[in-house]
Structure 1
Amino acid sequence: MKMKPGKTFENLSPEKQERITRIAAEEFGDKGFDGASVNAMVDRMGIAKGSIFQYFGHKKGLFLFVFNQSVEKVKDYLRTVRDQSIDEDLPTRLEKTLAAGIDFIRSHPLLYRLYIKVLSESKVPFREEILLSLRQHSIGYLKSLLDQAYLKKEIRKTIDLEKASFILDAVMDRFLQAHTMIHIDGGLGIYRASSEATNIWIKDMVGMIYQGIGGTDADNSEPYHYILIIAAVDAELDGFRTKLENPSSAIVGKRNALSGRLSGHQVMLLTTGPGMINTAQALTAAIEFQKPALIVQTGCAGAFHESGLQIGDVAIATREIDIHTGLEPVNGSVFPDPLPFSLFQNRDTEYTNYFSMDENLVADTLQVLQSVGVVNGFNVKKGPFITVSTVTTTDQRANDLFQHFKPCMEQMEGSAAAHTAMIYDIPFIEIRGASNMVGKRDKNSWNLPLAFQNAGIAVEAIMARVNELNGFRLKAAK
């Protein structure tokens, strides 16, 4: 309920207005409305008692004015967060909202204490109207964030946004209270926590909330029971999208992800973007979002003539090679010499620019796919893949690459995906369809749709029989 002070108050200097408001906030915040003394306030303010009634009419008017001032400051904080975070994803906006709440409490402890008094004291004038207005504003603010996130496809279509707003408001309000009242904290370490500890709480709490209302439909109580399928461009995953059961979308690493059931298993489809940096960033974000049981990379690639592969055939990577990482060669070679140090170590294995796949996983995958290839009219082979940043366009370069690395396929993302998967110790398999032959660039001879189709057939076959791969036992999606 609004209260506008008299003109005599408005004619005071800003400094005197601020002093009167601050002292009144301290008195009401310390003693509540019923226990606050107008006499004590005017003594500290250095004004006559009659001036208070001239300015505000009565004690209720003073209280309402002070409280409304507090509410307007909170609204200013929230408007700033909303406007400055408009282009960011929902989890970031929620984190910034909570951080702004903590900042307000630390910057204006008296004003927040006043809010606590209103919550706990039944004799506050217009208490129900005040609290209703506060809750409506808070829920409305959060609903506006959810509405925008919904339009950006960050939230599942099945989520009731009004109920989600209520849940967010309840959790966030309780968290802010726990920061100032030890009995609300419950011994969890929120009460007067350091900035670092508070930020960890905020990040973890928002993460749990978001996985409930956004994110994927995966069973988060069993986070390892889903398969992540990645590709560089949308067209390489289109065949899977149309077959997903109960699809739901999420924003993962600033990219659109789609989750659902495929061949009885929970999967997430993620388009990383072309190249190694896009792949490493997107895959890391997906793993941090929810760690998968298996990563499958798919899409198209160029096949080397010497490998025996033809356009439309499918290959499984036995090793991924980043051909650009190493030492400048001293013997005149066009390719780098091996690094004298490792990029990382996982268990007992040190990795440089060569990433070998699990032999059993590759062998099991090949066994499954060979019969699939016969039925669908394409050959399936296994062999090394090379990852390039510069697409090969000449026969001479293709010959040099084959003589040096003996690869069966060339692509732009594989070593980054393998590198990331091995850091996180997640099983990784790469299955690609040949869209062209490596060498002189002739796009008229390419067949991207056939490569996408056959790679998709192969991956779907693996999904259907994933429990036969190297001891995997993924639970069927519910």
Structure 2
Amino acid sequence: MTLPLLVVTAVAAEAEAVRAGADPDNVVVEPVGVGPAAAAAGTARLLATGRYRAVVSAGIAGGFPGRAPVGSIVLGARSIAADLGAETPDGFLPVDELGFGTSVLSCDPALLKALTAELPEAIVGDVVTLSTVTGTKRTADRLAESYPQAVAEAMEGYGVAVAAAGLPFAELRAISNPVGPRDRAAWRLREAFAALSTASGQLWTACG
């Protein structure tokens, strides 16, 4: 029996967008909650059944200006917990430098390669995971400087990657807004959800 692909999203609206494009016979889509902790716990619960061949964290995200424009699709090469660490007088220290593990988890190379082949217009780069969405230019600039390969920020990818625990993992995001000052009028949720649905149509082709 061929095991299905599990796609986890933060909220139901994202799950509906993925289901609108994904192969219903081979792709299971579940919302697991907002933030890395809820994402990790919800994903781990689903994967504990042993019923899935791979897991994808999917949804909408903010794109770093000049790297991932609104409406684009992003594939994560790495998922990075960008606020996991410690503050110091000299700035932020990631957990890696504290000697307490790693804040960087790579997506499965074979799965990423297959997704890139099926989604040739997708932008490949790092996706930073944050518990607090960026709302100022100062923070956006700091993140862009600290993570020069980052193309997007979201809130769940790193948590899902931790829960994958060796199972092939990837992160797929549709950009709904630029990273920076919160301006709801500039968000393009409808367009991002449409792009997410279109991209989701290629998930099983890449995974299968």
Q: Distance in 2 between matches of 1:465 and 1:358?
A: 12
Amino acid at match of 2:143: L
1:307-346 aligned within 5 A: 307=67, 309-329=68-88, 332-336=90-94, 338-343=96-101
- Give 5+ residue unaligned stretches, structure 2: none
The 3 A distance-change label for structure 1 pair 354 and 242 is closer
> SS of 1:319's equivalent?
strand
Q: Are the aligned partners of 1:226 and 1:292 in contact in 2 as well (CA < 8 Å)?
A: yes
Which structure has more relative contact order (CA 8 Å, sep 6+)? It is 2
Structure that is richer in helix per residue: 1
Question: Is the contact made by 2:19 and 2:197 (CA closer than 8 Å) also made in structure 1?
Answer: no
On the 8 A contact 2:9/2:58 being kept in 1, the answer is: yes
- Superposition deviation, residue 239 in structure 1: 3.1
Percent of matched pairs sharing the same residue: 27
Residue of 286, 291, 294 corresponding to 2:54: 294
8 Å CA contact retained: 2:127, 2:153:
yes
DSSP 3-state at the match of 1:434: strand
For structure 1, the 5+ residue unaligned runs are 1-221, 244-261, 344-351, 371-378, 468-478
Aligned length: 207
Structure number with greater Rg is 1
Secondary structure of the structure 1 residue equivalent to 2:113? helix
Alignment of structure 1 residues 74-473 onto 2, 5 Å = 222=1, 225-241=3-19, 263=23, 265-307=25-67, 309-329=68-88, 332-336=90-94, 338-343=96-101, 352-370=102-120, 379-406=121-148, 407-421=150-164, 423=165, 425-467=166-208
For residues 241 and 459 of structure 1, the distance between their equivalents in structure 2, rounded to whole angstroms, comes to: 8
Over 3 Å counting, the alpha-carbon distance change for 1:283 and 1:329 in structure 2 is same
After TM superposition, give the deviation of residue 340 of structure 1 in Å. 4.1
TM-score, structure 1 as length reference: 0.41
1:420 is displaced (CA, Å) by 1.1
Measure, in 2, the Cα distance between the counterparts of 1:448 and 1:290.
34
Deviation at 1:272, TM superposition (A): 0.7
1:98-154, CA deviations, whole angstroms, 9 ceiling, x for partnerless residues? xxxxxxxxxxxxxxxxxxxxxxxxxxxxxxxxxxxxxxxxxxxxxxxxxxxxxxxxx
TM norm structure 2: 0.90
- Match of 1:384, SS state, is strand
Letter in 1 for 2:69: Q
Deviation at 1:327, TM superposition (A): 4.1
RMSD across aligned positions (CA): 2.0
Distance 1:359 1:241 in 2: 25
Query: Relative to structure 1, is the Cα distance of residues 287 and 444 closer, same or farther in structure 2, using a 3 angstrom cutoff?
Result: same
Q: Residue 167 of structure 2 aligns to a residue in which SS?
A: coil
Question: What's the CA shift for 1:456?
Answer: 2.0
